[in-house]
Structure 1
Amino acid sequence: MKKSKLMWLLGMILIFGIFLVACGKEESTDTSGETKNTENTDGTEETTSNKLDDEQILNLVERAEIPSMDSVLADDAVSFNALNNVAEGLFRLNEENVAIPAMAESEPEVSEDGLTYTFKLRDAKWSDGTPVTAKDFVFAWQRAVDPDTGSTYGPYMMSGTIKNATEISTGSMDKAELGIEAKDDKTLIVTLERPVPYFASLMAFGTFYPQKEEYVTAQGTNYATNSESLLSNGPFILTNWDGNGLSWTMEKNPEYWDAETVKLDTINIDVVKEAATSVNLYNNGEKDRVVLTGEYAMQYADNEEVEQVLKPTVYYLKFNQERNGNKTPLSNVKLRKALAMSFNKQDMVDVVLANGSIPADFLVPTAFAYDENKKDFREVNGDMLPFNAEEAAKLWEEGMKEEGLTELKLDYISGDTDLAKNMDAYLQAQMETNLKGLKLNLKNVPFNVKLDLDAAQDYDIQSTGWAPDFQDPVTFVDLFQSESSQNNMSYNNEKFDALLDQAKGELALDPAARWQVLAEAEKMIVEEDAAIANMYQTGSMSLQKPYVHGIIAHPFTGDYSYKWAYISGK
């Protein structure tokens, strides 16, 4: 995309930085770069009651298979996208991306010290007609933090937040001691370790969804492995999913407490990884919405059905400092800094992506988090480690000498989509040209395989990304604490850990001081230690049929909701 279009896009970002509204439309982007267009549908039920088409069927494309429909085990964007539409927690993000009561019937009662939350549950049912109770939340949360379960997000999201979660996740305390209690079927009491300013948005996240103990126990290891072994308490029910396939369906859930709001009857989703195939399906009328990248973004840039957006999702390279129990050459900070500065981010977003993404010489995205004076967090540190081929070459030479190397071969893992392959080819050309003796061994693998390789730390460089879990800088920065389940690259800095502990603890109720500490931590991870190499903040272009309305995009939790979507004028 041309720079003029990038500047136009930046000018359209909302002041709160959560999502973009252009001519009443919104979009969302997951960590693969795929987007979901939306339309602000305030008052939809009143204004569209006479305009709805008889056939309420939406046909979409997804970029990868669903790795897991177990909300406790899910740890990727594709899974959370699906879960957001078939499940629901105490809170849900609404059409304005404000966290509002969902399974909770109202705002909770909060103790004076900000540590105890008492929720009253509404009358809601599972898809089998049985009631959703407070015990369902207790069971799910305890299961998520239990080390025997193997959840990555449970310990990550709850440790240091929910009382005793840290001790439970490390096996030093029983899960029954978690700070959550079902006083009765309709009363849930949650006790925190510390005050959490963003707690309401946290309660909309998938890891905190309920699960029915009797059902999960009866299913055993088969639970949530296919659509026949899954219960729903959200707007839709997942159908026609075998656990591995390239297609699935969502059907309206008649037991959902707010079913009258849901207009769509059926959503058909197919996994399509080739951009050309997606565009052909759209042009043939088989799909109602597809993402555009590279040459297709350029080709359709002026099409009247194109939507554009900038999202608070950042892509970066992870540098693995330890592999198979041994230190890697990437434990050398000079080599990491050289790699981080060796590729031209502006050319990357203009030519390779061409979809409204912007260069990211930072970790916490622009137009995402603001202080009490409405100052963007990005203004504190500005840009860090920008492209500088000359400086990169100098640091690379110094680092190679320190390691006693003249040539360095590194395994680089990434996804298997067309976009990922184009991006990787660009990075390989840039890095190998600017860094003498570097050879990248590109491995484009399916999403599930990449997750497994990450968990096993079986890589040297990994292309990945992160979408926020709630609206606060810490959702990005604390990914790299030494004990974080998302680290998986052996980055360990005691000073960095201490800064994050301060932000989460003693400074939790001191916004200004906390802001500065988080900025210092960001500067350390990106610039001083170069533990990662930031690439771009996600933008997207997509084609959406004009008869599709009301898909709501979210900056965190699932990337989009279909609860308010409808077909009109097809």
Structure 2
Amino acid sequence: MTLKTKLLATTSALLIASSGAIWADGHATHPETGETLASDQTFTYRDLDESPSIDPGMAEDSAGGDIIRDLFEGLYNHDSAGNLVPGVALSHTVSDDNLVYTFTLRDDAKWSNGDPVTAADFEYGWKRAASPELGSPYSWYIELTTVENAAEVLAGDMDPSALGITAIDDTTLEIRLTQPLPYFPDMTTHYTLFPVHQATVEAFGSEWTKPENMVSNGAYVLTEHVPQERLVRERNEMYWDNENTIIEKTVSLVIPDENVALTRFLAGELDRTHVPAGQYPRLESEYPDDIMSVPEACSYYYTINLTDTANPALLDPKVRQALSLAVNRDVIVNNVLAGGQVAAYTFTHWATAGFETPETPISTMEQSARDEMAKELMAEAGYGPDNPLSVNLIFNTSEAHRSVAIAITQMWQQTLGVQTELANQEWQTFLETRGNQDYEIARAGWCADYNEASTFLDLMDSGSGYNDAKYNNPDVDALLAEAKTAADPQAAYTQVEQIISQDVPIIPIYHYAAAYMLDNEVEGWPYENFQQKWYSRELYKVAE
């Protein structure tokens, strides 16, 4: 994998350059590095799809999270290496039993309308997100934090007011957990736990996220939103650290076609775009200063519908095992994608903090042996040349997803004689189809909400809101519960990975790499942040 690198100019070099052409682009210099800044501080990037929501309480996708982190700010943020740094919270203390967290909030945080950001805004935001009335697709995340009464509130058995979060005063927030969770502070960087402005939400209802209505507390405010086309956020003059923000405007453009986006990047219309599948080696050779690939905390997989509405054949674990075995993951990562991705035989990303990737039977085999076992299992299940299996596979519209799907379905056809009908759907429709179990096999991707293995494996819990397979294994549920309180949860995680490798509710395919074209004028990108949580306020563009 290639890590984009640059040599920063020395102070003397900058002084020499200051008398030349570099000053034609801009006179300001970066306060820490001394680099001469470009006169135009607009960052424009490509998104594949329109995010379902930019309401912190209703959002559910990573691209939406990128937008929300600009518009809103939670208790803590991440720095460029993924470490926790103050957001609205300056610090916190923990009780002796590790169940009560008390956060001290800064007194200079303001909403974009000038109102102070207070502990009550966090209390309101959390209780709103947990409310069954709101119907947040990510409300289950609040239960994962183990905050007091979360399960009961989400189930409708308790009023949201019972949730274990209390504003003691304007700058003191108390959060009560039901069991110790060492990575809890890191969980607060996720947008579901961000504050929202109660008066605005109550005044405008579902319309509160429109540019003319939104009040936010992040480094940027929403100034334009044309669904399925563009979203613009500009500097929030009320943000507590506005004076150190350099990027003036960030523009997200929805461009479904990766190759069209690449063309626009090369024409200078975009500062960042995804590397199209299979093109990384060529682009790295031609544009070495404008390309990057680093590990990213996401796993790509196929989920299999295990409900009674599914294809009956897929309820047979032998069929699911055969389908998984027949996927040549090395071909996918080395030939189809070729952007630094790593073949996956576990759900949890190999680079997850504190996680040791366990061996599974499939991971230690040669592909030829996998193929032979797949054929044997499929025959035992009653499928073969005289009775070929037919399945449907859906994916959200993307040339990369299509390329992966075509490659895998060809492997299934050639090795097992499986006939596959492919269908692509627009992102929001796709999410609904998959979430309603109106599918047989579906493409899926999961990006870590925090850097710990449970962020992946909790999706295998029978009660998870994103267990789209509706997989139910009491042993897995028990192991995941055990891991929550274990001093070292690795043993439980290993067993869960080994169980799901046998049960195959999902087929892990590869672990992501963040493979992007990134204009070499853009600095401040968090290459070392495994979750690739980036903030526009940390970026800046240097003069040519």
1:236 corresponds to which letter in structure 2? Answer: Y
Map 1:414-493 to 2 at 5 A: 414-436=395-417, 438-493=418-473
1:159, distance to aligned residue in structure 2 (A)? 4.4
| Equivalent position SS for 1:238 | strand
2:537 corresponds to which letter in structure 1? Answer: K
Residues 80 and 557 in structure 1, CA contact (< 8 A), matched pair in contact too = no
For residues 24 and 157 of structure 1, the distance between their equivalents in structure 2, rounded to whole angstroms, comes to: 43
Residues 145 and 184 in structure 2, CA contact (< 8 A), matched pair in contact too = no
Residues 1:538 and 2:520 are matched in the alignment: no
**TM-score of the superposition, structure 2-length normalised?**
0.90
Q: Could you tell me which of 209, 215, 230 is aligned with 2:200? A: 215
Residues 95/454 of structure 1: CA separation in 2 closer, same or farther (3 Å cut): same
Map 1:122-161 to 2 at 5 A: 122=106, 123-159=108-144, 161=146
For residues 24 and 491 of structure 1, the distance between their equivalents in structure 2, rounded to whole angstroms, comes to: 50
Q: Which residue of 2 aligns with 1:3?
A: none
Map 1:44-63 to 2 at 5 A: 45-48=30-33, 51-63=36-48
CA deviation vs aligned residue, 1:104-136 (integer Å, no higher than 9, x gap): 12x212110000011121121111111111111
Task: Say which is worse superposed, 109-118 or 541-550, in terms of deviation.
Answer: 541-550
Map 1:105-254 to 2 at 5 A: 105=90, 107-122=91-106, 123-159=108-144, 161-224=146-209, 226-242=210-226, 244-254=227-237
For residues 278 and 144 of structure 2, the distance between their equivalents in structure 1, rounded to whole angstroms, comes to: 44
Q: Could you tell me which of 367, 372, 375 is aligned with 1:393? A: 375
Residues 81 and 529 in structure 2, CA contact (< 8 A), matched pair in contact too = no
1:169, distance to aligned residue in structure 2 (A)? 0.7
CA deviation vs aligned residue, 1:397-455 (integer Å, no higher than 9, x gap): 212369xx92332221112111111111111111122112x221111111111111111
| Equivalent position SS for 1:423 | helix
For residues 212 and 413 of structure 2, the distance between their equivalents in structure 1, rounded to whole angstroms, comes to: 49
Residues 317 and 461 in structure 1, CA contact (< 8 A), matched pair in contact too = yes
Residues 394 and 424 in structure 2, CA contact (< 8 A), matched pair in contact too = yes
1:313, distance to aligned residue in structure 2 (A)? 1.4
Q: Which residue of 2 aligns with 1:298?
A: 281
Residues 311 and 391 in structure 2, CA contact (< 8 A), matched pair in contact too = no
Q: Which residue of 2 aligns with 1:280?
A: 263
Residues 450/517 of structure 1: CA separation in 2 closer, same or farther (3 Å cut): same
Residues 1:515 and 2:490 are matched in the alignment: yes
1:95, distance to aligned residue in structure 2 (A)? 2.2
Q: Which residue of 2 aligns with 1:262?
A: 245
CA deviation vs aligned residue, 1:16-66 (integer Å, no higher than 9, x gap): xxxx675589xxxxxxxxxxxxxxxxxx95334561122211221112112
Residues 83 and 558 in structure 1, CA contact (< 8 A), matched pair in contact too = no
Q: Which residue of 2 aligns with 1:377?
A: 356
Residues 81 and 558 in structure 1, CA contact (< 8 A), matched pair in contact too = no
For residues 7 and 372 of structure 2, the distance between their equivalents in structure 1, rounded to whole angstroms, comes to: 45
Residues 66/229 of structure 1: CA separation in 2 closer, same or farther (3 Å cut): farther
**TM-score of the superposition, structure 1-length normalised?**
0.86
For residues 534 and 35 of structure 2, the distance between their equivalents in structure 1, rounded to whole angstroms, comes to: 25
Give the aligned CA root-mean-square deviation in angstroms.
Answer: 2.2
For residues 400 and 135 of structure 1, the distance between their equivalents in structure 2, rounded to whole angstroms, comes to: 60
Residues 552 and 565 in structure 1, CA contact (< 8 A), matched pair in contact too = no
Residues 295 and 530 in structure 2, CA contact (< 8 A), matched pair in contact too = no
Residues 552 and 562 in structure 1, CA contact (< 8 A), matched pair in contact too = no
For these two proteins, the number of residue pairs brought into alignment is: 517
For residues 316 and 113 of structure 2, the distance between their equivalents in structure 1, rounded to whole angstroms, comes to: 56
Task: Say which is worse superposed, 229-238 or 340-349, in terms of deviation.
Answer: 229-238
For residues 445 and 153 of structure 1, the distance between their equivalents in structure 2, rounded to whole angstroms, comes to: 22
Q: Which runs of 5+ in 2 are unaligned?
A: 9-28
For residues 203 and 179 of structure 1, the distance between their equivalents in structure 2, rounded to whole angstroms, comes to: 14
1:491, distance to aligned residue in structure 2 (A)? 0.8
For residues 345 and 5 of structure 2, the distance between their equivalents in structure 1, rounded to whole angstroms, comes to: 26
1:459, distance to aligned residue in structure 2 (A)? 0.6
Residues 551 and 562 in structure 1, CA contact (< 8 A), matched pair in contact too = no
Higher relative contact order (CA 8 A, sep 6+): 1
CA deviation vs aligned residue, 1:223-254 (integer Å, no higher than 9, x gap): 32x32332221111122114x23111121111
| Equivalent position SS for 2:432 | helix
Q: Which runs of 5+ in 1 are unaligned?
A: 1-8, 13-19, 26-43, 371-375
Q: Could you tell me which of 525, 533, 536 is aligned with 1:559? A: 533
Q: Which residue of 2 aligns with 1:37?
A: none
Residues 292 and 542 in structure 1, CA contact (< 8 A), matched pair in contact too = yes
Residues 429/381 of structure 1: CA separation in 2 closer, same or farther (3 Å cut): closer
Task: Say which is worse superposed, 493-502 or 49-58, in terms of deviation.
Answer: 49-58
For residues 97 and 176 of structure 1, the distance between their equivalents in structure 2, rounded to whole angstroms, comes to: 33
| Equivalent position SS for 1:96 | coil
> Which structure has the larger Rg over C-alpha atoms?
2
